[in-house]
Amino acid sequence: MTHDEPSIALLWDTFTGYQRTAALKAAIELDVFTRLAAGAATIEALAVQCQAAPRGLRALLNHLVMDGFLTKDGERYGLGATAATFLDRGSPAFVGAAITFIANPAVTEGFSRLTEAVRRGGTAIPDNGAATPEHPMWVEFARAMAPIAAMTAQLLANLLDVEQVRVVGKVLDVAAGHGMFGITLARLNPNVQVTALDWRNVLAVAEENARAAGVATRFRTLPGSAFEVPFGDGYDLVLLPNILHHFDPAACERLLAKARAALAPGGRVVIVEFVADDDRSGPPDAVRFALVMLAGTPAGDVYTFAEYQRMLRNAGFERVTLHELPPSPARVVFAEH
Amino acid sequence: MTHDEPSIALLWDTFTGYQRTAALKAAIELDVFTRLAAGAATIEALAVQCQAAPRGLRALLNHLVMDGFLTKDGERYGLGATAATFLDRGSPAFVGAAITFIANPAVTEGFSRLTEAVRRGGTAIPDNGAATPEHPMWVEFARAMAPIAAMTAQLLANLLDVEQVRVVGKVLDVAAGHGMFGITLARLNPNVQVTALDWRNVLAVAEENARAAGVATRFRTLPGSAFEVPFGDGYDLVLLPNILHHFDPAACERLLAKARAALAPGGRVVIVEFVADDDRSGPPDAVRFALVMLAGTPAGDVYTFAEYQRMLRNAGFERVTLHELPPSPARVVFAEH
């Protein structure tokens, strides 16, 4: 929102935004939230449990109180609702590991060169950033983002009504990463056979996750570039979760045409993405992510639904539909063969 | 504040806080706000004026709308109130240059090693960070922070009622930086003679500012470390603006005792600092700055008024008083010889 009055507080909050990220990252790395949940409530107790200096913890904990993650009552600190739900490793909704990807040096480097990226209209990181084969950032991504992806995958499975749909059989998960989208479908429907495509180093993480979910026998891998490796054919679903935003529309269309050729008659592609409103001024996650793509990729972007419709039609698809996935900020585009 | 309900928005906003800082820094470096104030309202016009790619500007400008700095009406962007007041170089209250210090690599490096700083209770930057003689960061500080310091200095001059007080004569400005505290007093009262102490490279900036303010003939410099260079004596005021927070209480007491010895009878020291509330949970700027000191200094801190009282009494001072400096978040401590 725009403030009607000049706000030095807004300015300062933005100047120092990186400090709030760093404070939260440090607290997650020291496992402060998990220790607090387990009962260590004072600086002295946390110093022992987290192996940290009382002086360092004092500055950190007071910052986290100000930032809305902790409570303070006299000398005792406690978890606020957000920290209790999302930042305690004992919580089923723990997503704290995501910080190791979001504030990964490979991501932050793009933002440290943002002025230059705005000038040139694409990442200023040499060698095109993480768009190189087997870039280790994607292993970090696969590990860090699996918990959040698992929640989104469950919402997608509900949208697909996957437990009821008996015809779902062969699923191709392109740029599978952690593999959670395909794995979740396989876990919910015993007819599902997943083929996961990604770099070889990343697929090792997906295979771990498939074993942990008990679907390893219905999970095969296809290592390499989505643009180069043959997909095979006869798929009922081709999943494209969070991949198209890395590329320009021409490259997206090539990938979509290749996906279409791999579908069985009646099959469909499933695109999971932040999708921008037509004027690109919302929703907030899409606006934010467009800058992430500018900072980190040569030609990636957040696309509008109209842009996806155009790309999909150019790739030969019909019946293109947009779906919300509440409470996730992700949106889903279906397109039929 | 702490939210009563788990807020994924709070979590995400904090995860990506560094991206908001980077977006604002890029916009200031590209001078987007000044160009908008001058009438360039579309991406196409700004692309020419800022020498940037339309694609890069689009992602940046939409982010700045979301962050509360810009307005958007169709294809036209405009300045919100905060940007118009503080981020347009044509505005008398322009403080945008501060970002070049606050998000300076020498400062951000400490935050990139924050987990280690919390573990050890002091900066994890090798060689104690910026606490080395003639560290170039302080030249950057002097240039970037002068506009904000000039406002605070005017508020301090009002508090001292400096235009009315004819006895104010010799003023020592310790760790003068930009020199704005002493320069402002000299500008408002022709009896004031300023001696500014700082590293030699930093004093070059202060001398520029003294010339620009027309007080160069009443402005002399004393290059070196505040702990080592003799202060001289007979000062009516010894200013200690934003210096004590870099050191532990024992070092602060040494500096205060040295300041006391330099005062004329009836003189006083003037400490300008963020001063923490007794339980260190506020005010917000003090909480924030305590983490800056942890990240960047071996033993610096934000002190409470009770701690300043103790240090000042140990250094021989009497009549210690605390003063607010609204609307600045800085506070002032006076202590008499």
Q: What is the pLDDT of residues B280-290, one digit of tens each?
A: 999 999 999 99
Token couple for B123: 């900066």
Residue in chain A closest to B26 (alpha carbons) equals: A115
Whether residue B326 has pLDDT greater than 80? yes
CB contact under 8 Å between A118 and B59, yes or no, is: yes
Q: What is the pLDDT of residue B232?
A: 97
Quick check: A22 and B102 CB within 8 A? no
Residue A3 reports pLDDT greater than 60: no
Q: What's the pLDDT score for residue B164?
A: 73
Contact check, Cβ <8 Å, B119/A30: yes
Q: Which of B245, B246, B323, B337 is catalytic?
A: B245
Distance from B173 to chain A by nearest Cα, in Å?
26
- pLDDT over 90 at A85, yes or no: yes
Which of A10, A12, A14 to mutate: most B Cβ within 10 Å? A14
Say yes or no for a CB contact (<8 Å) between B82 and A285: no
User: B30: nearest CA in chain A?
Assistant: A115
Contact B62 A290 (CB under 8 A): yes
* Amino acid sitting at position B223: P
Identify which of B240, B242, B206 has the alpha carbon closest to the alpha carbon of residue B223: B206
B141: closest CA of chain A, how far (Å):
15
Given a cut of 70, is residue B129 above it in pLDDT?
no
| Bridge-based pairing state of the strands A219-223 and B318-324 | unpaired
Half-sphere exposure of A130 (CA within 13 A, CB side): 23
B14/A20 touch (CB, cutoff 8 Å), yes or no: yes
Cβ <8 Å between B63 and A288: yes
Mean residue pLDDT of chain B comes to 93
H helix count then E strand count, chain B: 15, 9
pLDDT of residue B100: 83
Residues pairing with B318 in the sheet:
B336
**Which position among A245, A246, A323, A337 bears the catalytic label?**
A245
Query: Which residues from B are below 8 Å from A52, CB to CB?
Result: 118-119, 121
pLDDT in tens, A92-128: 989 998 888 888 888 889 999 999 999 999 999 987 6
Does the structure show a pLDDT above 70 at A166?
A: no
Which residue from A297, A254, A10 is spatially nearest to A132, judged by alpha carbons? A297
A1, pLDDT greater than 70: no
Tell me if B53 and A112 make a contact (CB, 8 A cut-off). no
The count of CB pairs under 8 A between chains A and B is 262
Mean pLDDT (whole number) for A259-266: 96
B48: distance to nearest CA of chain A, Å? Answer: 11
Residue A106: the pLDDT is: 80
Q: Mutation test of the interface with chain B: which of A61, A82, A278, A285, choosing the one with the most B Cβ atoms within 10 A?
A: A82
- Mutate one of B11, B29, B277 to test the A interface: name it (highest A CB count within 10 A): B11
CB-nearest to B291 from A63, A284, A301 is: A63
Q: Do B2 and A295 touch (CB under 8 A)?
A: no
Nearest to B26 among A30, A115, A284 (CB): A115
What pLDDT sits at residue A133? 77
Closest CA to B322 of B335, B311, B337, B303: B335
Q: Do A10 and B53 touch (CB under 8 A)?
A: no
Report DSSP letters for A220-242, one per residue. Answer: EEEES-TTTS---S-EEEEEEES
* Minimal-distance CA residue of chain B relative to A105: B112
Which chain B residues touch A54 with a CB distance below 8 Å? 121
Which pLDDT value is given to residue A137? 84
ipTM of the complex: 0.92
Rounded CA separation B240/B175 (Å): 7
Q: Could you tell me which of B107, B124, B108, B188 has the C-alpha nearest to residue B154?
A: B188
Q: Write the DSSP assignment of A136-193 as a string of letters.
A: THHHHHHHHHHHHHHHHHHHHHHHHTTTT-TT--EEEEET-TT-HHHHHHHHH-TT-E
Verify whether residue B245 is a known catalytic residue: yes
Taking an 8 Å cut-off on Cβ atoms, the answer to whether A55 and B291 are in contact is: no
A293 → chain B, closest CA residue: B59
**Nearest-Cα residue of chain B relative to residue A83:** B6
Cβ-defined contact of A15 to B117 (cutoff 8 Å) = no
B95 contacts in chain A (CB < 8 Å): 11
Is-contact B94 B87, C-beta < 8 A? Answer: yes
Q: What is the pLDDT of residue B128?
A: 66
Per-residue pLDDT band for B104 (boundaries 50, 70, 90) equals: confident
pLDDT at residue A131, as a whole number: 67
Q: Does the pLDDT value for residue B146 go beyond 60?
A: yes
Rg (C-alpha) for chain A, rounded Å, is 22
List the single residue in A62, A81, A294 with the smallest CB-CB distance to B287. A62
Question: What band does A140 get if pLDDT is binned at 50, 70 and 90?
Answer: confident
Q: Is B99 in contact with A16 (Cβ distance < 8 A)?
A: no
Tens of pLDDT, residue by residue over A308-328, are 999 999 999 989 999 999 989
DSSP B179: -
Nearest Cβ partner for A29 among B2, B14, B115: B115
How open is the CA angle B257-B261-B263, to the nearest 5 degrees? Answer: 115
B204, B173 contact by CB (below 8 A): no
Please state the pTM of the whole predicted model: 0.92
CB A184 within 8 A of CB A157: yes
Pick the residue from chain A with its C-alpha nearest to B279. A74
Model confidence over A12-71: pLDDT tens digits? 999 999 999 999 999 999 999 999 999 999 999 999 999 999 999 999 999 999 999 999
Mean pLDDT of A285-311: 96
Of A15, A65, A122, the CB nearest to B21: A15
Nearest to A11 among B82, B118, B122 (CB): B82
β-strands A76-79, A70-73 pairing? antiparallel
Q: State residue A277 phi and psi, 5-degree precision.
A: -65, 165
* pLDDT over 50 (residue B1): no
In three-state secondary structure terms, B90 is coil
- Digit-coded pLDDT (tens) for B247-278: 999 999 999 999 999 999 999 999 999 999 99
Q: Which residues, other chains included, contact B278 with Cβ-Cβ below 8 Å and sequence gap of 6+?
A: B304, B305, B306
- Nearest-CB residue to A26 (from B19, B103, B114): B114
Percentage, residues of chain B above pLDDT 70: 97
